[in-house]
Amino acid sequence: MASVTLRNIRKAYDDNEVMRDINLDIQDGEFVVFVGPSGCGKSTLMRMIAGLEDITGGDLQIDGTRMNDVPPAKRGIAMVFQSYALYPHMTLYDNMAFGLKLAGTKKPEIDVAVRNAAKILHIDHLLERKPKQLSGGQRQRVAIGRAITRKPKVFLFDEPLSNLDAALRVKMRLEFARLHDELKTTMIYVTHDQVEAMTLADKIVVLSAGNLEQVGSPNMLYHAPANRFVAGFIGSPKMNFLEGIVQSVSANGVLVKYETGETQLVLVEPGRAKEGDKVTVGIRPEHLHIDVADYGVSARIMTVESLGDAAYLYAESSVAPDGLIARIPPLERHEKGATIRLGATPDHCHLFNSDGQAFQRKIVEVLAA
């Protein structure tokens, strides 16, 4: 087990800077998930930690030791990729034993390591099979098993479940949680899947275009995103953004006025906000309600999508360039083209300044506990 520390890490391919000044502290035994849009640098960061990619600037430490120039095999790390290339002509047993054999480990020791990993992953009854005789999920488990046999100090997983179907992903997600509980090894995990990130992570790291946007617990990122990017990235469907200006500031928060003349009170610390400042109100779909008594903006219903257990109402409004989405009870009936009023209670709203930075919500300590 080990801590991983990144200090001012940079990466450039020739003149193209793809990672900028990344600082991150991963504690011993933590499960850390990297998220961010395609091309933001998640894999690059992982590969630098693994030693598969040179570090252009900054320091990488594992358990307090500088690792920048240490070869991959000596870093105590095991990495599992999305494509988990198994050797097709070898049995599962041999696939899992291969790395240890290469490292010159003695046979009895290999046997213990392979059987132990297979047991942890519930594939001990399949050891004599070849990869083509397995399901996708079972193959993925062999790839993880191969990593476990090496007893790494840190596991790196780069989108390990993205080749699997939805049901299998859920199953494997639970397996990952169990695996982490059981091994208690530091794990770094990349995913595009919101649910995987929210459920597996002790800590989520949000990246965008080579910058670290925010690090925090899933609850913290959901309830107290530091900026508009994180607010829009975490949560699905994404947060609604409504453009307005500050009408007044009081002990109750900030009163925002939309160009329609309608208003929304937002419960945040006003900081330096003053009358006339351009701001953006953020409201999650589950908090955007129809015909709220005091606050809201008129919008025209575009369509309603029913998901069985809930429904999403899509509406358009001049103050929300990306449109509005409200989560509503499944059987509510709404007519396309009708005008409604959409708003939220002040404690459910977020507020961002014109640079996209979030105002501090007054109820964050409670929500993020």
Q: Which residues would be at the binding site for ligand ATP (CB under 6 A)?
A: 13, 18, 36, 38-44
Considering beta carbons, is residue 3 or 162 the nearer one to ligand ATP?
162
Q: Which residue is nearest to Mg ion (CB)?
A: 43
Per-residue CA distances from 168 to 8, 54, 120 (Å): 38, 35, 18
User: Residue 250 touches which of ligand ATP, Mg ion, none (CB < 5 to 8 A by kind)?
Assistant: none
Query: Which 209-248 residues touch Mg ion, going by CB under 5 A?
Result: none
User: Residue 263 touches which of ligand ATP, Mg ion, none (CB < 5 to 8 A by kind)?
Assistant: none
Cβ of residue 161: shortest distance to Mg ion, in angstroms? 14
34's enclosing H/E stretch is strand 31-35
Closest by Cα among 72, 67, 70 to 26: 67
The Cα 323–Cα 306 span in angstroms is: 18
Cβ of residue 158: shortest distance to ligand ATP, in angstroms? 7
Whether residue 237 is preceded by a cis peptide bond, meaning omega within 30 degrees of 0, is: yes
Cβ of residue 53: shortest distance to ligand ATP, in angstroms? 8
- Residues touching Mg ion, count (CB under 5 A): 1
User: Residue 40 touches which of ligand ATP, Mg ion, none (CB < 5 to 8 A by kind)?
Assistant: ligand ATP
Helix 136-149 to helix 107-120 angle (10° resolution) is 140
169's enclosing H/E stretch is helix 166-183
Q: Are strands 297-306 and 4-13 parallel, antiparallel or unpaired?
A: unpaired
Cβ of residue 44: shortest distance to Mg ion, in angstroms? 8
| Full DSSP string of 108-143 | HHHHHHHHHHHHHTT-GGGTTS-GGGS-HHHHHHHH
Say which residues have a Cβ less than 8 Å from residue 4's Cβ, sequence separation at least 6.
24, 26, 49, 60, 61, 62, 154, 186, 188
Considering beta carbons, is residue 44 or 280 the nearer one to ligand ATP?
44
Binding test (CB under 5 A) with Mg ion, winner from 43, 95, 208, 353? 43
User: Residue 287 touches which of Mg ion, ligand ATP, none (CB < 5 to 8 A by kind)?
Assistant: none
Considering beta carbons, is residue 195 or 367 the nearer one to ligand ATP?
195
Residue type, 242: L
User: Residue 348 touches which of ligand ATP, Mg ion, none (CB < 5 to 8 A by kind)?
Assistant: none
Considering beta carbons, is residue 41 or 145 the nearer one to Mg ion?
41
User: Residue 323 touches which of Mg ion, ligand ATP, none (CB < 5 to 8 A by kind)?
Assistant: none
Question: Which of 35-43, 57-65, 130-138, 223-231 is the region at the interface with Mg ion (rule: CB under 5 A)?
Answer: 35-43
Considering beta carbons, is residue 201 or 255 the nearer one to Mg ion?
201
The Cα 114–Cα 106 span in angstroms is: 12
Residue 44 near Mg ion by CB under 5 A: no
Question: Which of 41-49, 50-58, 70-78, 300-308 is the region at the interface with Mg ion (rule: CB under 5 A)?
Answer: 41-49
Q: Which residues pair with 60 in a beta bridge?
A: 6
User: Residue 38 touches which of ligand ATP, Mg ion, none (CB < 5 to 8 A by kind)?
Assistant: ligand ATP
User: Residue 253 touches which of ligand ATP, Mg ion, none (CB < 5 to 8 A by kind)?
Assistant: none
Residue type, 56: T
The Cα 99–Cα 108 span in angstroms is: 15
Considering beta carbons, is residue 13 or 87 the nearer one to ligand ATP?
13
Say which residues have a Cβ less than 8 Å from residue 306's Cβ, sequence separation at least 6.
330
Please report, as ranges, the residues that interact with Mg ion according to CB under 5 A: 43
